[in-house]
């Protein structure tokens, strides 16, 4: 989906998870729980071997 793609676009091996969350929070101000959503997605992506 679109939100998953936006998260994965930011995963470059250089940005920290915190930096990814900060970037998305700035792009989508006022979205509640964006940090928890990003963390949950990254856990799934890791478990599915989409990211290391």
Residue 2's pLDDT is: 86
Cα 41 from Cα 37, distance rounded (Å): 6
State the pTM of this model. Answer: 0.85
Cα 11 from Cα 31, distance rounded (Å): 20
Q: Each residue of 11-39: pLDDT tens digit?
A: 999 999 999 999 999 999 989 999 999 99
> Domain coordinates of the chain in residue numbers?
2-47
Of 15, 19, 13, nearest in space to 35 by CA? 19
């Amino acid at each position: 989906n679109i939100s998953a793609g936006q998260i994965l676009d930011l995963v470059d091996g250089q940005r920290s998870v915190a930096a990814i969350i900060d970037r998305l929070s700035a792009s989508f101000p006022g979205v509640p729980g964006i940090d928890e959503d990003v963390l949950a997605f990254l856990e799934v992506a890791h478990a599915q071997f989409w990211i290391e």
